[in-house]
């Protein structure tokens, strides 16, 4: 009796055991692939969220450090005898070169000086000192204000220029401002490896992403979304308030999921196309 050629290899017990083992391994792998890729996706997503939380904390720490440094620098400049003497003259041409030198040293985007009556003697850079801020600073308080600029937002700190140990005799006000703009967002992107968007009152002030996405980012922020899709990209997002609170903008920190999604899509497509041979490079 003849045996079909395709059945001949199965006549021996060894061949049948080998085939059964191979089928069992193949079935196990087929069942395991979805489970493994799902678990990998969960772990990778959790790792992305931990990294996003670390990056968000770093943004807050850096912004707080910048604000503290600005406050210290403003008070140091306001306490310099040369500036006090110039302000006491009430003469704008006398104050201007001194203020310009201090602005350059501070690398400030804005600097203004007012006399004891609130009369502005010099303004350097874009923006204007707020009248209410000058009034409060003349009473001895430190005041933070925000002003919209064409390219972002100006955060200005106004401090009293005073003499005497208790600072009771106020000679004028020094206002120093630093911009929240695209350059600052790019700086934080370098530190955190995340996309940064600064938003205030539904308005995008600065962003490392194309500005065509502004409306979608604001909508995601208002909805409290933690997953943001922009064209072909997908991001995990976290909203981080900035140091001053109140009128201060918020930072939307975004970390891309594209690399994770690409790896998972590759693994699944590879299994569908090649089955048990999918450990070979295919993407």
Same domain (yes/no): 175, 251? no
SS3 (DSSP) at 189: helix
Mean pLDDT of 106-129: 93
What pLDDT is stored for residue 276 in this prediction? 47
Same domain (yes/no): 213, 226? yes
Rounded Cα–Cα distance for residues 59 and 187 (Å): 10
In a domain, 102, yes or no: yes
Q: For residue 40, is pLDDT > 70?
A: no
Mean pLDDT of 53-73: 91
Same domain (yes/no): 209, 223? yes
What pLDDT is stored for residue 222 in this prediction? 85
Mean pLDDT of 67-92: 94
Which of 145, 160, 180 is a domain's end point? 180
Q: From the CA atom positions of the chain, what is the Rg in Å?
A: 31
CA 30 from chain centre, in angstroms, equals 42
Q: For residue 38, is pLDDT > 50?
A: yes
Between 253 and 165, where is the model more confident?
A: 253
Same domain (yes/no): 176, 215? no
Same domain (yes/no): 96, 132? yes
Same domain (yes/no): 123, 171? yes
Kindly list the strands in the beta sheet with 169-181, ordered across the sheet, starting from the edge strand earlier in the chain: 120-125, 110-115, 169-181, 152-163, 143-149
In a domain, 99, yes or no: yes
In a domain, 34, yes or no: no
Number of alpha carbons in the 13 Å side-chain half-sphere of residue 132: 4
Rounded Cα–Cα distance for residues 107 and 260 (Å): 40
DSSP per-residue letters across 170-181: EEEEEEEEEEEE
What pLDDT is stored for residue 260 in this prediction? 58
When mean pLDDT is compared across 68-77, 113-122, 188-197, 263-272, the lowest value belongs to 263-272
Helix H or strand E encompassing 236: strand 233-241
Which of 180, 210, 237 is a domain's end point? 180
Same domain (yes/no): 128, 148? yes
In a domain, 54, yes or no: no
Helix H or strand E encompassing 244: none
Same domain (yes/no): 172, 189? no
Same domain (yes/no): 90, 144? yes
Distances (CA, A) of 132 to 139, 140, 252: 11, 13, 30
Mean pLDDT of 33-51: 70
In a domain, 104, yes or no: yes
- Residue 50 has phi, psi (to 5 degrees) of -65, -45
Give me the domain span that covers residue 229: 183-259
Same domain (yes/no): 222, 158? no
Which tokens is 3 given? 């045996």
In a domain, 97, yes or no: yes
Q: How many domains does one find in the chain?
A: 2
Same domain (yes/no): 90, 173? yes
Q: Write the CATH number for 227.
A: 3.30.450.20
Q: 111 has which bridge partners? A: 124, 176
Same domain (yes/no): 124, 173? yes
Q: Do 221 and 209 meet the contact criterion of CB atoms below 8 Å apart? A: no
What pLDDT is stored for residue 280 in this prediction? 46
What pLDDT is stored for residue 143 in this prediction? 93
When mean pLDDT is compared across 70-74, 162-166, 194-198, the lowest value belongs to 162-166
Winning range, highest mean pLDDT, from 21-30, 33-42, 130-139: 130-139
The number of beta carbons lying within 10 Å of the beta carbon of residue 146 is 19
Mean pLDDT of 141-152: 90
């Amino acid at each position: 009796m003849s045996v079909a050629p395709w059945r001949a290899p199965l006549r021996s017990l060894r061949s049948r055991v080998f085939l059964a083992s191979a089928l069992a391994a193949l079935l196990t792998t087929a069942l395991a692939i979805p489970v493994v890729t799902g678990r990998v996706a969960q772990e990778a997503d959790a790792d992305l969220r931990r990294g996003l939380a670390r990056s968000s904390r770093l943004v807050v720490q850096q912004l707080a450090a910048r604000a503290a440094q600005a406050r210290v620098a403003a008070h140091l400049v306001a306490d310099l005898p040369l500036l006090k003497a110039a302000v006491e003259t009430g003469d704008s041409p006398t104050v201007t070169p001194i203020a310009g030198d201090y602005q350059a040293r501070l690398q400030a985007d804005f600097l203004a000086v007012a006399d004891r009556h609130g009369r502005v003697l010099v303004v350097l850079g874009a923006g204007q000192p707020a009248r209410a801020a000058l009034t409060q600073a003349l009473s001895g308080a430190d005041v933070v204000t925000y002003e919209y600029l064409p390219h972002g937002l100006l955060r200005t700190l106004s401090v009293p220029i005073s003499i005497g140990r208790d600072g009771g005799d106020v000679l004028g006000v020094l206002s120093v401002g630093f911009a929240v703009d695209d350059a600052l967002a790019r700086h934080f992107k370098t530190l955190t490896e995340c996309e940064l968007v600064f938003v205030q009152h539904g308005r995008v002030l600065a962003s490392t992403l194309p500005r065509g996405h502004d409306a979608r980012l604001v909508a995601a922020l208002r909805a409290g979304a933690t997953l943001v899709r922009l064209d072909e990209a997908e991001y995990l997002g976290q909203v981080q308030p900035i140091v001053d609170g109140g009128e201060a903008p918020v930072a939307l920190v975004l970390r891309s999921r594209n690399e994770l999604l690409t790896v998972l899509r590759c693994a699944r497509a590879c299994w569908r196309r090649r089955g048990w041979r999918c450990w070979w490079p295919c993407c």
